[in-house]
Structure 1
Amino acid sequence: MPNPSTTAVLITDPQNDFMSEKGAAWGLVKDNVTRLNTNENIASLMKAAKSADMQLFVSPHSYYEHDKHWHDRGPVQGLMNKIDMFRVDGPTTYANFKDSGADFYPPLKQYIEDGKTVITSPHKVYGPDSNDLVLQLRKRGIQTVLLGGFAANLCTDSHMRELTEQGFNVVVVKDAVGAPGEEAYQAALTNYNMIANAVWDTQQAVAFID
């Protein structure tokens, strides 16, 4: 059982493009998200973390204008570029960020924008290799993360793998993730069960936090 004092909740990509019905990727994830009650479960994890004074981390995704000019992309990266997912004006201006696809899902902002949540620099592909998440976790003495977010088989999976490689204990919250279809979700579950230290549902995670 993890030690609550060295445990944090970590959510990948809790942003409009995934979580809002108007988001660029909503059509890809809506069936899975609706079945799992993902949005509400992520909110429950965040609320529980705040109530218990447990640290909350968010690893967001965003792309600047210069990222549109990458020479090589995989198929999903190509699609994300084509539909302008997580588009932000640039690293020095967020003038059009509010209510954009890259902005945080409104029901979660009360937890994310309270001045205490650690919002990492954006990851650029899938995992935290390209942002400061590991540094931020280590600087706060975190040893275990309760992990949820989007997309189950992409960014969430990649965060699980990299954090495991870095020596963290990872507990994936299996109904607080969203995937682009049931096949992708089942593939993610297979990986979670083989790699993560544990796989819980939201009820188990909230009971642990409380």
Structure 2
Amino acid sequence: MTQALSLDPRTTALVMIDLQHGIVGRPIAPHSGTEVVARAKQLADTMRAKGAAIVWVRVLLNELHLPSADAPSRAPDAPPAPAEASELVPETGLQPGDVIVSKRQWGAFYGTDLELQLRRRGIKTIVLGGIATNFGVESTARAAFDQGFGLVFVEDATSSLNEEMHHLTFSKLFPHMGHVRSTQQVIDALA
């Protein structure tokens, strides 16, 4: 049974991962990039209106840390991504006053000012989503959990490389770290 959730917008931040040109158009599941961005915008608009902090995280694709791996995220000899690939898609509805964090690895905390931005605003709870579930979102979630932030994972505003990976994380990992909810359930929790 899912427990009732109540969120104080004054101590809550929406943190959305990698909703940028070079990522949202890739094949992902179970939710399309268009669906994830639309739900992220709905969350951002609602939460912003209630006084919550809005944080958009983007990965600088040409500066991405790529250690040697059996299945690297990008081929070492791949041509540089166009500059636009690292820019947020306009459909996010980015507004003045929103925070943009640029990262060079999967997680949004290491090597960025994300923690400082959240602590300065008195944030205790992070509402988290984006692309991809098992990479940027999960890496950010693990760091946030370790730093003592409360977490709410927005299942329908998050997606992965395939449906199986997404569902595994949302059913087996995230419930141990915080609350798994839908976009509408998060909006209702702010009322």
1:9 maps onto 2:14 in alignment? yes
1:124 equivalent in structure 2:
104
Identity %: 22
How far has the Cα of 1:125 moved from its partner?
Answer: 1.6
For structure 1, list consecutive stretches of 5 or more residues without a partner in the other structure.
21-25, 88-95
TM-score normalized by the length of structure 1: 0.77
1:72 maps onto 2:67 in alignment? yes
1:54 equivalent in structure 2:
52
CA distance in 2 between counterparts of 1:126 and 1:71 reads 10
How far has the Cα of 1:106 moved from its partner?
Answer: 1.9
Greater share of helix: 1
1:92 equivalent in structure 2:
none
1:146 maps onto 2:127 in alignment? yes
Which SS does the other structure have where 1:194 is aligned? helix
Task: Within 5 Å, give how 1:1-210 maps onto structure 2.
Answer: 1-20=6-25, 26-27=26-27, 29=28, 31-34=29-32, 37-64=35-62, 67=63, 72-75=67-70, 77-79=72-74, 87=81, 97=83, 100-108=84-92, 110=93, 112=94, 114-120=95-101, 122-127=102-107, 128-189=109-170, 190-195=172-177, 197-210=178-191
RMSD: 2.5
Partner deviation per Cα, 1:30-58 (whole Å, 9 max, x = no partner): x4223993232112111212222321011
How far has the Cα of 1:187 moved from its partner?
Answer: 2.4
Greater share of strand: 2
CA distance in 1 between counterparts of 2:134 and 2:184 reads 22
How far has the Cα of 1:74 moved from its partner?
Answer: 3.0
Question: Is 1:36–1:175's contact at 8 Å kept on the other side of the alignment?
Answer: no
Partner deviation per Cα, 1:62-106 (whole Å, 9 max, x = no partner): 034xx47x6733355442656568x4xxxxxxxx64xx2211112
Aligned length: 184
Amino acid at match of 2:119: R
